[in-house]
């Protein structure tokens, strides 16, 4: 069984990137976790840098109020970006680091902040141009042997970068940006590689960072109008739900990451699981976004 075969996440993943901006106290954060679980979302996406290195601690503080929930959830984190921050005074310049020392230290920091003994999934957040694939593969193996990480993968890598590392150590997923307003992964080799390796990708910013709902952008308005029309055809579904349904239509069977701190935002994503777009409907959205017809 490959790492990709054994990785299991909920069909929708809850993203915690902006948790520090939600201004929720620990009890309210715990309630949000519970709302996600009630909707069938048991996988939570983190990165060490989120909220200026604060979000994992906020989540861990909430989880500490009900520690038994850990057995019901899957925790994902990412490392490899070094931000200049008062929280990391040794970082004198923004850079990328996939060295053994940095990855091991990052995992220990994440485990401590999240108040857990293991991560279900660890991703290298961004490509490190100085990555030593053999060293990183050995680091992954060390973390897995210690039971501190169950699965590993990458985020925002090129197909060549992923292939290099995957040849040294099996990767379980690739987290990428994809939305109706961000199309490059559809034909730059990224999703073709996921199909070839049978990796289910994780998708960040599936609603284009909210641009689908903001005014003034002609392209966004075109796409929003098509999604609204599709929503009417599919029982009055929201624009957000139809955007998730568009992503879920891809044959890689992706895991979209919803970044909403609202219960309705979570519901919009989950509701998409009951909608199956036809290929023609999918291409209506693509055409509106690309601004051209299929060649």
d(CA 138, CA 100): 8
Write the DSSP string, 251-269: TT--EEEE--SSHHHHHHH
C-alpha to C-alpha distance for 14 and 46, rounded to whole angstroms: 9
* Residue appearing with tokens 């990855």: 103
Is residue 96 flagged as an active site residue?
no
Q: Long-range contacts made by residues 158-163, C-beta under 8 angstroms, separation at least 24?
A: 158/127, 158/189, 158/190, 159/188, 159/189, 159/190, 159/192, 159/193, 161/127, 161/131, 162/193, 163/193
88: helix, strand or coil: strand
Catalytic residue among 50, 53, 96, 244: 50
Q: Under the phi-then-psi rule, with left for phi > 0, alpha for psi from -120 to 50, and beta for the rest, what region is 27?
A: alpha
Kindly give, in sequence order, each residue whose CB lies less than 8 Å from that of residue 164, ignoring residues fewer than 6 positions away.
Answer: 131, 133
Looking at the DSSP assignment, which residues form a beta bridge with residue 124? Answer: 79, 154
At 236, give phi and psi (nearest 5°).
Answer: 85, 25
Phi, psi of 36 (to 5 degrees): -60, -45
Residues 6+ apart with CB under 8 A from 260: 266, 268, 269
Counting Cβ atoms within 10 Å, is residue 266 exposed (0-12), middle (13-18) or buried (19+)?
A: buried
Catalytically active residues are 50
């Amino acid at each position: 069984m490959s790492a990709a075969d054994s990785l299991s996440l909920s069909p929708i993943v809850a993203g915690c990137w902006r948790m520090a901006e939600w201004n929720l106290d620990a009890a309210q954060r715990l309630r949000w976790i519970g709302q996600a679980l009630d909707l069938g979302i048991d996988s939570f996406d983190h990165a060490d840098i989120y909220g200026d290195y604060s979000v994992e601690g906020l989540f861990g503080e909430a989880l500490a109020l009900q520690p038994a929930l850990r057995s019901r959830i899957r925790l994902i984190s990412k490392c490899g970006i070094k931000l200049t921050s008062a929280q990391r005074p040794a970082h004198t310049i923004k850079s990328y680091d996939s060295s053994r020392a940095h990855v091991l230290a990052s995992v220990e920091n994440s485990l401590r902040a999240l108040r857990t003994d293991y991560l279900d999934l660890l991703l290298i957040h961004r490509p490190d141009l100085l990555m030593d694939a053999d060293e990183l593969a050995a680091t992954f193996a060390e973390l897995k042997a210690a039971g501190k990480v169950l699965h590993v993968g990458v985020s925002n890598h090129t197909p060549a970068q992923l292939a290099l590392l995957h040849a040294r150590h099996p990767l379980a997923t690739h987290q990428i940006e994809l939305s109706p307003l961000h199309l490059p992964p559809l034909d730059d080799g990224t999703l073709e590689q996921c199909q070839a390796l049978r990796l289910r990708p994780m998708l960040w910013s599936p609603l284009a960072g909210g641009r689908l709902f903001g005014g003034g952008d002609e392209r966004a308005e075109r796409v929003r109008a098509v999604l609204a029309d599709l929503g009417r055809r599919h029982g009055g579904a929201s624009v957000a739900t139809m955007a998730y349904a568009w992503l879920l239509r891809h044959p890689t069977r992706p895991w979209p990451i919803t970044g909403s701190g609202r219960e309705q935002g979570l519901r919009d994503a989950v509701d998409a699981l009951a909608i199956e777009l036809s290929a023609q409907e999918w291409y209506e959205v693509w055409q509106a976004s690309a601004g051209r017809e299929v060649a």
